[in-house]
A and B are shown apart, each in its own frame.
Chain A
């Protein structure tokens, strides 16, 4: 885990006036900004490890901003998007928001709207990063479980009592208890509720291993 919080705002607009103006505004509040004139440039640019967001002009030469949003989703490149447009209409806004856009702002941009949107977007990205990091570590711990332990975890999380589990898999209740304890320890679960939440995150409750 890095203690330093790295965050970058990308702006893609083919108009230099807009691009540079927005860039200046964000810089004035201490944000790091990367100004790009096309989506191709954005794709070619190395993504930062930290939280980031994308301010995207709707009207762009070639692929429009909305189309680019779809393309990014298909490529599982998650980045919060703030749309800016000179002439937005409601269907366009709805489509963008449904597809997960953070905000849809019309030019000229109101300073506070933009900064709020950027803050929200970065927060969302940071949260996503955090979640991703936790899920990743949980999976690595889950990998450490033995098959028997995963089986007992799955059944326990479905709400079976220890003796029911023992009866189910033909072990003594004591052995089940030992395995259950080991699961709790390996996964670093502080309580049974914690364990159930982890199972949810791993999507194993009533799920993948049961069938």
Chain B
């Protein structure tokens, strides 16, 4: 093969591609061409209720249309009067406007616009499809409809609208119907009068078409009781003034001393009480869908829509409140709008936040209470177990000291017994030596007191402790302990050096527990010095700053291995062959329960120094 491709095959393919491209480009251009729609207003863009319909229909069209739409607004002015002369120039204007760019659809809003296009159809828009919307069915000239016309009518049930007034305010006697002087207004005045005829035995109707709007306002402000205002239309008043938009209703509402009723959604929202309502959206949606069908190619005369009727009743909660209308009087299925938000609705976030905070607080408080109880319980348990352990420790100590204690008690008893024997003999002698007897008795008494003192001391030291706390002179406390171990000190030839300050501020604490701390430390010191010489036990008390008492107990014993210094206060740590390892941990527990501190360091030359700091009563928190 010498060539890469066969040119004869390529050419037809390229031609086909070119054709496709052209076709698509044309289709795209056609799609890009917008559908031209004219909205024809009856009075002007800002006349309620039609203005609302126009807006809504526009929105619906935009929403529903699959094509790009070019929507233009035009407004009759002739509807305001019965004179048809001004129409001619407007017709000319429109014809000029759309001569070159024909419309795809005309949507007339309101009866005057519908009537206008029907009148000028032959001259203006011979073949342009039309939708008449927002037009009361009674205003549609069905006889003159062409195959190009579709109708989206509404049906206003005036009887129901007026009856609604009597339903919610049964005492109503007067109904003032607001209506101006334009042709459409006149038409409706008559329609209302006719349709509400069955109610005329209960209600006296009056009409405002003979009043200027200012006169109307004055009258509305001074209506007799049991009156109601029925808002129909106010386009042109008796003075010939044109009233646009929602302003006239608002002004009337501001001064009126009676409730205002109406039936169109576009008036609903502040001024009117409510009742059966024609929904703008209902009409708009239908209109838009009919318009789209027509734009899509359907024949307008084939499209038949039932007239849009009152939707379910709507009421304005604020007006209900103002006129004392209870919810129970409303027709079934009524919907109430603008209800003043309840506190819950208005402050939901705040209420939720406050509740959350309260809940959090409650949770926190109950947690704290729970924790506090738990801690109290734990403290009681701990105290009981400390109490239990300290008691065991004391019992053990008592065992160790029992020989000393027995000896200590026996000494004065020995003296007493011996002196008693002596005294008896002196008395039994031929010449009783009464002087000696008296001396013996004196000594017996003294020794008896001594024995009792020893027993009291021992008892107090080894009894099961209570939680009682009292003011304690630390130096005196140390002396009572030293009395007990005095024998052992002598037995082991331990020299006792004391520097116990008088008149130290009292410590507030448990006497038995603190005695035990001193006793444990002294017994430890004695143990530590068993195998060394010289044996010196130094005990000192002093002020510790302004708020505590400092106690130091130093021995010249074997000392503590520095690596053990930080373990020595831990439970079950012992270096003694038969030690429980509880003594020092009990000491620490007791000292800490007195808000005090205990520490140990090596002695200056040998041995150890245990130091206690106990807060004095004044310093206790």
Contact = CB atoms under 8 A, between A and B. Distances in A.
Given A21-B419, A25-B421, A61-B493, A108 B414 contact: yes
A29 interface: yes
Contacts of A87: 403, 406-407, 410
A144 interface: no
A86 B436 CA distance: 26
A17 B412 contact: yes
A91 interface: no
6 contacts: A24-B418, A25-B425, A26-B422, A28-B423, A85-B407, A86-B409
B415 A21 contact: yes
Contact of B414 (A18, A26, A59): A18
A188 interface: no
A32 B279 CA distance: 140
Interface string A15-34: 11110111011111100000
Contacts of B407: 59, 85-87, 107
A207 B408 CA distance: 54
Nearest to B490: A61
A28 B421 contact: yes
A84 B417 CA distance: 14
Contact of B411 (A17, A61, A111): A17
Contact of A25 (B408, B419, B493): B419
Nearest to B427: A28
Contacts of A171: none
Given A17-B411, A18-B411, A109 B491 contact: no
Given A28-B425, A59-B407, A87-B410, A17 B417 contact: no
B447 interface: yes
Interface of B: 403, 406-419, 421-426, 436, 440, 443, 447, 450, 487, 490-491, 493
A107 B411 contact: yes
Interface in A69-95: 84-87
A106 B407 CA distance: 10
Interface residues of A, number: 28
Given A59-B491, A61-B491, A61-B493, A21 B410 contact: no
B85 to A, nearest CB: 147
Nearest to A105: B414
Given A61-B491, A109-B417, A25 B422 contact: yes
Interface in A183-197: none
A42 B411 CA distance: 20
A17 B414 contact: yes
B455 to A, nearest CB: 14
Given A17-B447, A21-B443, A59-B491, A86 B418 contact: no
B-side interface mostly: helix
Contacts, number: 95
A25 B414 CA distance: 11
A123 interface: no
B427 to A, nearest CB: 9
A84 B413 CA distance: 13
Nearest to B437: A28
A15 B418 contact: no
Contacts of B408: 86
Contacts of B493: 61-62
A14 interface: yes
Contact of A15 (B406, B411, B422, B443): B411
Nearest to B451: A17
Contacts of A21: 414-419, 422, 443, 447
A111 B406 CA distance: 20
Contacts of B490: 14, 61
A86 B417 contact: no
Contact of A20 (B409, B443, B487): B443
Nearest 6 pairs of A and B residues by beta carbon: A17-B415, A21-B418, A21-B415, A86-B407, A86-B410, A28-B425
A59 B418 contact: no
Contacts of B410: 86-87, 106-108
Contacts of B417: 21, 108-111
A27 B416 contact: no
Given A21-B414, A86-B414, A108-B418, 7 more contacts: A17-B447, A17-B450, A21-B418, A24-B423, A107-B407, A108-B414, A109-B414
A17 B410 CA distance: 10
A96 B419 CA distance: 26
Residue picked from B418, B423, B436, B493, most chain A C-beta under 10 Å: B418
B486 to A, nearest CB: 10
A27 B422 contact: yes
Contacts of A85: 407
A56 B4 CA distance: 142
Contacts of A28: 421-426, 436
A99 to B, nearest CB: 20
B294 to A, nearest CB: 130
